[in-house]
Amino acid sequence: MSNPSILILPGDGIGPEVMAQVTRIIDWFGEKRDLKFDVETDLVGGAAYDKHGVPLADETMARALEVDAVLLGAVGGPKYDDLDFSVKPERGLLRLRKEMDLFSNLRPAQCFDALADFSSLKKEVVSGLDIMIVRELTSGVYFGEPRGIHKEGNERVGINTQRYTESEIARVARSAFELARKRNNKVCSMEKANVMESGILWRDVVTEIHEAEYPDVELSHMYADNGAMQLVRAPKQFDVIVTDNLFGDVLSDCAAMLTGSLGMLPSASLGAPAENGRPKALYEPVHGSAPDITGQGKANPIACILSFAMALRYSFDQGDEATRLEKAVEKVLADGVRTADLMGPEGGTPVSTTEMGDVILAAL
Amino acid sequence: MSNPSILILPGDGIGPEVMAQVTRIIDWFGEKRDLKFDVETDLVGGAAYDKHGVPLADETMARALEVDAVLLGAVGGPKYDDLDFSVKPERGLLRLRKEMDLFSNLRPAQCFDALADFSSLKKEVVSGLDIMIVRELTSGVYFGEPRGIHKEGNERVGINTQRYTESEIARVARSAFELARKRNNKVCSMEKANVMESGILWRDVVTEIHEAEYPDVELSHMYADNGAMQLVRAPKQFDVIVTDNLFGDVLSDCAAMLTGSLGMLPSASLGAPAENGRPKALYEPVHGSAPDITGQGKANPIACILSFAMALRYSFDQGDEATRLEKAVEKVLADGVRTADLMGPEGGTPVSTTEMGDVILAAL
Ligand SMILES: CC(C)[C@H](C(=O)O)[C@@H](O)C(=O)O
Ligand SMILES: CC(C)[C@H](C(=O)O)[C@@H](O)C(=O)O
């Protein structure tokens, strides 16, 4: 039997720097834990545009559909700001999400004990925080048609369409309920059913799936504006939050920032399980390409490393090995090892991107 | 010359309770400062539905278009949750906004010194915070067509349309730039131009208006997800934020919660100046109808009172009197007078809704 396969797409900005540390960790699992992967690397985003004139080559797309998991670094940067909409770096990422049908985007917002002081929120509000945002990722206003800019009389008009079908809502709802069962058994669904019909359908379908298939899970509904408020006021009231693509984009970033350590947060984007039981999957850090610190050895590789831990858990059924990796990261943080972004008033041992990789490997 | 006219729409839940205190304050200005208003009162939201079967009667709508300013309490409540979309309490408010053409919604997020401890954020992150969110209020996904829920095959599909014209964006941008000139001369515009064409048009038009008419104001652009993050991380970096209807809904609630005192925050919704120089205007607290505390004398009337202060400033050109009222509120807070929602660990003098009205009148 061949090894499970991974396609690595480092992308732009700090993407390649943080991904280099992940590669070392993948190698470690091969050597020390006999968990071998077939790894290949390719281009996405601005890096792909520079070579191919498109932010994702067709061959790369084809490989992404064949491998067992994709690991992505980050896309975008000021160099590409003036590109036409259709070839912007982001379109590469959006094409992967859409064609791999990765409808369920898991974004944990977890506050690491060693970093609780780091949040702009009071320690008691965020310490021990552990929420999971499940964001619908392949539909809604990101992909709805009609869209574009056209002329009416002598005015430009910009249009996008928020569109959700029943089955699109149902499948992401199921994925949230399944996750909740493995956590604290609570789901809060967020929309604007008070002003949007697509929000009414969202609320209705989530409620129907709940009643028919997951009556044991506690379900609540909240308007998305109130959701943003409650995340800031008392985030620990939540366990799993399920919401649409656009609200999920904004609310998950808000939740991520609560933890005070954006450089720490991984994400998994999952499709439906394939014949081999493995869902199509893409793992990426929540942070962006950080052009301001690119190439300086300052980037924090932990979010990208924890994204690989999520891959171990969700794609390769290696929950114990994922926990091993997560524990190594926790230990290093508890020991006071800090990349620049984690350097707070209480100090710590400053390290570069590569040095952070070193100590995590040592902790493993 | 007749007195300026005000239409009071207390609405649902705690709306009537907080508005009762505003009425006393309006009377005070008439008696003590010779600022007399012609005040009339009518129904909106669930209260209007109960009487008329619609959340805003046509006669009320007509009066709203005639008076110089509308003061609104709050709409909605669990009693009306199962009403048809078209007659929900919120539709009354949305109809007012749309037919009065109140395109510019000003939502200050201000942290009161006496209440800085009250925020879930660290004191140094929020103390002295003073941002103004300008939210487009009459277009975007709230009003775009087509919309609704229909069947495709045997599936339901929910649709809403995000739609912005050039002139809709231009007028709200102007209103943000004008405000910035009276403040710290900085505007940050937020959208998702990286994934939505309507966001590209938004960014382009804001940039054009800036270059042509307000080159003296500092303008920056931010993706709305990053905006949510930055609001949580370091809100004091902002002066004026301008954004669309839906992002404005979520981001302004997020910003409001940063201050820790939702019961304190007013808002103004303004249209274009009419012949008499006065814009069409509606003033309302940012908080909702709070059904959980309705009728218990617990509601904090300050947000509604400060909304009237905004009316004095923006509709009646009485900036000094507005400041007088705001100072009275600040004094009362500094003295430790607290409605239940403001009662923190450091204690204070607990008061009811009416007693809060009493002390503010005394401070005036
Ligand atoms: C880069 C961008 C297209 C993307 C999004 O809007 O989904 C990002 O913000 C994210 O949340 O993954
Ligand atoms: C009540 C509701 C219709 C409204 C909105 O979504 O605009 C409210 O949330 C607000 O922000 O004023």
- Known binding residues of B for substrate are 97, 107, 135, 225
Calpha distance B210→B187 (Å, rounded)? 10
For residues A342-358, give the mean pLDDT: 90
Ligand 1 pocket, B159 CB below 6 A? no
Instruction: Give, for A6, the enclosing helix (H) or strand (E).
Output: strand A5-11
Scan for tokens 């309920």, then name that residue: A177
Q: Domains in chain A, start-ordered, CATH in brackets?
A: 1-108+262-364 (3.40.718.10), 130-258 (3.40.718.10)
Q: What is the pLDDT of residue B346?
A: 75
Following CA atoms A141, A144, A147, A152 in sequence, which dihedral angle do they give, to the nearest 10 degrees? Answer: -90
Interchain contact, A159 vs B163, CB within 8 Å? yes
For residues A124-153, give the mean pLDDT: 97
Q: What is the pLDDT of residue B300?
A: 96
pLDDT band at residue A273 under the 50/70/90 scheme: confident
Interchain contact, A229 vs B94, CB within 8 Å? no
Q: Sort out which chain A residues have CB atoms less than 8 A from B166's CB and list them.
A: 155-157
Cis peptide before B78 (omega within 30 of 0): no
CA of A75 to the centre of ligand 1 (A): 9
Mutate to test the interface with B, among A152, A197, A206, A238 (most CBs of B within 10 A): A197
Instruction: Give, for A168, the enclosing helix (H) or strand (E).
Output: helix A166-181
Q: How many CB pairs under 8 A join A and B?
A: 187
Q: Is B225 a catalytic residue?
A: yes
Q: What is the pLDDT of residue B338?
A: 94
Interchain contact, B158 vs A202, CB within 8 Å? yes
Ligand 1 pocket, B31 CB below 6 A? no
- Which residues of A are known catalytic residues? 142, 192, 225, 249, 253
Q: Which residues contact B105 (CB under 8 A, 6 or more apart)?
A: B134, B135, B136, B137, B248, B252, B267, B268, B269, B270
Ligand 1 pocket, A90 CB below 6 A? yes
Mutate to test the interface with A, among B162, B189, B207 (most CBs of A within 10 A): B162
Catalytic residue among B142, B214, B283, B314: B142
pLDDT band at residue A1 under the 50/70/90 scheme: low
Residue A343 pLDDT > 80: yes
- Out of B162, B201, B226, whose CB is closest to A253? B226
Residue A277 pLDDT > 80: no
Residue A345 pLDDT > 80: no
Probe target for ligand 2 pocket from B93, B265, B283, with the most ligand atoms within 8 Å of CB: B93
Probe target for ligand 1 pocket from B196, B200, B223, B225, with the most ligand atoms within 8 Å of CB: B225
For residues A251-273, give the mean pLDDT: 92
Mutate to test the interface with B, among A12, A87, A155, A156 (most CBs of B within 10 A): A156
Out of A42-46, A89-93, A260-264, least confident range? A260-264
Q: Sort out which chain A residues have CB atoms less than 8 A from B157's CB and list them.
A: 163-166, 201
Closest ligand (CA of A105) = 1
Give nearest CA residue, ligand 1 atom 6.
A249
Query: How near does any CA of chain A get to the CA of B69, in Å?
Result: 25
Closest ligand (CA of A226) = 2
Take residue B118 and report the two structure tokens written for it. 């009250």
For residues A113-138, give the mean pLDDT: 93
Instruction: Give, for A134, the enclosing helix (H) or strand (E).
Output: strand A130-136
Q: Which residues contact B170 (CB under 8 A, 6 or more apart)?
A: B205, B208, B209
Q: Sort out which chain A residues have CB atoms less than 8 A from B162's CB and list them.
A: 141, 158-162
Q: Is B253 a catalytic residue?
A: yes
Q: How far is CA B208 from CA A298, A362, B201, B214, in A?
A: 37, 54, 10, 9
Q: What is the pLDDT of residue B158?
A: 98
Residue type, A183: R
Q: Nearest residue on chain A to B121, judged by CA atoms?
A: A121
Ligand 1 pocket, B194 CB below 6 A? yes
pLDDT band at residue A69 under the 50/70/90 scheme: very high
Rounded to 10 deg, the angle between the B302-314 and B319-334 helix axes is 160
Q: What is the pLDDT of residue A275?
A: 77
User: In angstroms, how far is CA A270 from the centroid of its own chain?
Assistant: 10
**Residue B93 CA, closest ligand 2 atom number:** 3
Catalytic residue among B225, B317, B320, B335: B225
Ligand 2 pocket, A229 CB below 6 A? no
β-pairing verdict for B104-110 and B130-136:
antiparallel
For residues A260-272, give the mean pLDDT: 91
Ligand 2 pocket, A195 CB below 6 A? yes
Alpha helices in chain B (DSSP H): 15-32, 46-52, 58-66, 89-99, 123-126, 166-182, 197-213, 224-233, 245-258, 302-314, 319-334, 353-363
Instruction: Give, for A47, the enclosing helix (H) or strand (E).
Output: helix A46-52
- Out of B156, B205, B257, whose CB is closest to A229? B257
Q: Sort out which chain B residues have CB atoms less than 8 A from A251's CB and list them.
A: 228, 250
Ligand 1 pocket, A102 CB below 6 A? no
Residue A242 pLDDT > 80: yes
Calpha distance B335→A18 (Å, rounded)? 53
For residues A174-187, give the mean pLDDT: 97
**pLDDT (tens digit per residue) in A73-101:** 999 999 998 899 999 999 999 999 999 99
Ligand 1 pocket, A284 CB below 6 A? no
Scan for tokens 């919704």, then name that residue: B269
Q: Which residues contact B124 (CB under 8 A, 6 or more apart)?
A: none
DSSP string across B117-153: GGSSB-HHHHTT-EEEEEEE-SSGGGTEEEEEEEEET
3-state secondary structure of A57: coil
pLDDT band at residue A344 under the 50/70/90 scheme: confident
β-pairing verdict for A144-152 and B144-152:
unpaired
DSSP string across B57-103: -HHHHHHHHHSSEEEEEE---GGGTTS-GGGSHHHHHHHHHHHTT--
A133 strand-pairing partners: A107, A241
- All residue ranges of chain B with pLDDT < 50 are none
**pLDDT (tens digit per residue) in B251-267:** 999 999 998 878 899 99
Query: How near does any CA of chain A get to the CA of B20, in Å?
Result: 26
Q: What is the pLDDT of residue A222?
A: 97
CA nearest B73: which of B142, B136, B6, B22?
A: B22
Interchain contact, B194 vs A88, CB within 8 Å? yes
Q: Sort out which chain A residues have CB atoms less than 8 A from B74's CB and list them.
A: none
Question: What is the pTM assigned to this prediction?
Answer: 0.96
**Residue A225 CA, closest ligand 2 atom number:** 9
Q: What is the pLDDT of residue B211?
A: 98
- Out of A165, A192, A251, whose CB is closest to B155? A165
CA of A286 to the centre of ligand 1 (A): 9
**pLDDT (tens digit per residue) in A184-212:** 999 999 999 999 999 999 999 999 999 99
For residues A123-130, give the mean pLDDT: 94
